[in-house]
Amino acid sequence: MEEVKNTTSSILAQVAEKLDELPRAEMEDKYNQIQTRVFEFANFMEAQISFMFTSGNDQIPMEPIIRRALHIEKTIVLPVFTDMKNAFNICKITDYDKDLVLNKNDVREPDTDKCKKVSLDDIDIAFIPGLAFDDKGGRIGFGSNYYTRLITRLPETCRKVSLAFDEQIVDQIQMDSRKHTVDIIITDKRVIYKI
């Protein structure tokens, strides 16, 4: 287990170094390319219900993507994590500014008093955050395991997609189980389908 932690730390250090070397203008250009690919991606455009996230510690800002998706009237659902282990709700939003509130961790999430709950079984495509990925769909998350657990609870038919800069793609990520992988990774240069 210690070896996996060391490998994970090493991978994250390499990815961080690559990203730190990129000029801000190039990062913005890469982000715009990712956003364009998302809205050209047939699985997303055809999906009835799309799961997204708003956490502030991801490399790819989701707010512009969510706002654009709402503008073209896509059905967007976001998680509301609770203090109970493995417990969260999924809620539909229709207005980014009016439907979200800050939680105790300063992350924007749906206001459960305003927003309608949606079943996990109804989700067609789920965007899963991460810090590093490999071409087999392996991912390194943020350590909370919220999304790792979520992946296993999504329906078989749901496409699990991550967005990343190409610099976040590494040769291999050691994983305990391949049931925690994503199906597709959209980068600024390509769309990677899990091998």
Is the pLDDT assigned to residue 175 strictly greater than 80?
no
Comparing CA positions, the residue from 182, 60, 38, 34 lying closest to residue 131 is 60
Q: What count of Cα atoms within 13 Å lies in the side-chain half-sphere of residue 173?
A: 28
- Predicted structure pTM score: 0.91
pLDDT computed for residue 2 by the predictor: 46
Is the pLDDT assigned to residue 194 strictly greater than 70?
yes
Is the pLDDT assigned to residue 115 strictly greater than 90?
yes
| Of the listed ranges 4-8, 53-57, 84-88, 149-153, the one predicted with least confidence | 4-8
Is the pLDDT assigned to residue 6 strictly greater than 60?
no
Per DSSP, the three-state class of 12 is helix
Task: Sort 171 into a burial class: Cβ within 10 Å, 0-12 / 13-18 / 19+.
Answer: exposed
Please give the share of the chain, as a percent, with pLDDT higher than 90: 70
* Tens digit of each residue's pLDDT (9 = 90 or more) over 7-19: 888 998 999 999 9
Phi, psi of 54 (to 5 degrees): -125, 5
Mean pLDDT of 78-99: 86
Residue 169: pLDDT band with limits 50, 70, 90: very high
* Tens digit of each residue's pLDDT (9 = 90 or more) over 33-71: 999 999 999 999 999 999 999 866 567 899 999 999 999
pLDDT computed for residue 178 by the predictor: 65
Specify whether the backbone of 137 is left (phi greater than 0), alpha (psi in -120 to 50) or beta.
left
What CATH number has the domain spanning 2-193? 3.40.50.10420
Contact in structure between 141 and 175 (CB atoms under 8 Å): no
Q: Which two tokens stand for residue 24?
A: 């801000």
Question: Which range, 5-19, 40-54, 74-88, 167-181, is most confident?
Answer: 40-54
Cα 166 from Cα 132, distance rounded (Å) = 10
Cα 190 from Cα 165, distance rounded (Å) = 10
Cα 56 from Cα 190, distance rounded (Å) = 24
Domain ranges of the chain: 2-193
Which parts of the chain fold into alpha helices (H)?
Answer: 2-20, 24-40, 42-46, 63-71, 96-99, 146-153
Residue 107: pLDDT band with limits 50, 70, 90: confident
Is the pLDDT assigned to residue 134 strictly greater than 60?
yes
Mean pLDDT of 85-114: 89
Q: Which two tokens stand for residue 104?
A: 């105790």
Per DSSP, the three-state class of 8 is helix
